[in-house]
Amino acid sequence: MTAQVLDGKALASQLREEVAAASKRLAERGITPGLAVVLVGDDPASQIYVRHKERAAKECGVTALDYRRDADISQEELLALILELNADENVHGILVQLPLPDGLDASPILDAIDPAKDVDGFHPDNIGRLAQGRPRFVAATPKGCMTLLAKANVELAGKNAVVVGRSNIVGKPMAMLLTNANASVTLCHSHTKDLAAEIGRADVVVAAVGKVNAVRAEWLKPGAVVIDVGMNRDENGKLCGDVQYEESLAVASAITPVPGGVGPMTIASLMQNVVLAAS
């Protein structure tokens, strides 16, 4: 078997065009979608992510409003900025790039974002709504994974799905989305006793660990669909995911590459959320 490669880059480009068309319709009603991007400190990876998000915003007719703050900003000052953005009617979506520098506590900051502007879907209201199967804003990475699965016509009802990694940003919301889509979901993490056995039963595997070779090709059930959220550097400094990619091509029925799989879908999904917030 040679797996179908799920081209997130091409699909994301199509989604950005759709979002741009939706923005244009909003502009005709006098609304320009505005996304406040809050970046604290100078983490190089965060700077790259934010640059990509701002570039996509431009392409989608979304005004990105840049709020860069030094790493020594106080918790109170950052909170005050969020409250100011909540009250700003030109701001439809608020994104606080994570992780925040040491010394800042992300939870109270994310909790302070108006849930109606929470385009990252991290607010407890939005997580709660997703858990109850009535989502409003869904976190961009898991949302992008679901769109990829839908476009590839992957049937989820009644299937065994394994999510590896239980982060609030990806693993947990991903498990909820798959549950809502009627899959039987197992959420694995660092305490899972036998990851190989869990993955061996999975029709769909979502890897969101952040570690090279966290999922080995020989563990996969033949024909499994593999979504690789990982973004790592291998020993040669080459970008790679969490899954043994080349070896998995011969076992899986479909797989996302890294780069060019989930990454671009995350950004396109965020833009969908911004336009939803502005609508």
- Report the catalytic residues: 53, 97, 120
Prior bond of 99 cis (ω within 30°): yes
Contact stretch for ligand GUN (CB under 6 A) within 24-32, 65-73, 93-101, 225-233: 93-101
Contact region with ligand GUN (CB under 6 A), list: 92-100, 125-133, 225-233, 236-244: 92-100
248 near ligand GUN, rule: CB under 6 A = no
Minimum distance from residue 222 beta carbon to ligand GUN (Å)? 32
Residue placing its CB nearer to ligand GUN in the complex, 82 or 220? 82
- Euclidean distance between CA atoms 197 and 107, whole angstroms: 34
Is 95 a binding residue for ligand GUN by CB under 6 A? The answer is yes
Question: Which helix H or strand E contains 34, and what residues bound it?
Answer: strand 34-40
* Close Cβ partners of 233 (under 8 Å, ≥ 6 residues apart): 212, 239, 240
CB of 140 to ligand GUN, least distance (A): 5
Residue 122 to residue 143: CA distance in whole angstroms: 12
Q: Is 97 in the site for ligand GUN (CB under 6 A)?
A: yes
| DSSP per-residue string spanning 120-144 | T--SHHHHHHHHTT--SS--HHHHH
Q: How far apart are CA 19 and CA 166, in angstroms?
A: 30
Selected from 141, 180, 256, 272, the binder of ligand GUN by CB under 6 A is 141
Q: Residues 92, 33: contact at Cβ < 8 Å? A: yes
CB-nearer residue toward ligand GUN: 26 or 98: 98
Residues in contact with ligand GUN, total (CB under 6 A)? 8
Looking at residue 139, its amino acid is A
Closer CB to ligand GUN, residue 217 or residue 274?
274
Structure tokens at 38: 């809050």
269 binds ligand GUN (CB under 6 A): no
> Are residues 201 and 170 in contact, defined by beta-carbon separation less than 8 angstroms?
no
Cβ 100 vs Cβ 106: under 8 Å: yes
Can residue 256 be called a binding residue for ligand GUN (CB under 6 A)? no
Match 């923005």 to its residue by tokens. Answer: 23
Distance of CA 124 to the CA centre of its chain: 17
Which residues between 187 and 246 bind ligand GUN (CB under 6 A)? none
Contact between 96 and ligand GUN per CB under 6 A: yes
Least distance between ligand GUN and beta carbon 270 (Å): 7
Q: Classify residue 241 as left (phi > 0), alpha (psi -120 to 50) or beta.
A: beta
Asked if 118 touches ligand GUN (CB under 6 A), the answer is no
In angstroms, give the least distance from the CB of 98 to ligand GUN. 4
Backbone angles phi, psi at 36, to 5 degrees: -85, 125
Spell out, one character per residue from 157 to 196, where the chain touches ligand GUN: x when CB under 6 A holds, - when not. Answer: ------------x---------------------------
Residues that bind ligand GUN (CB under 6 A): 95-98, 120, 140-141, 169
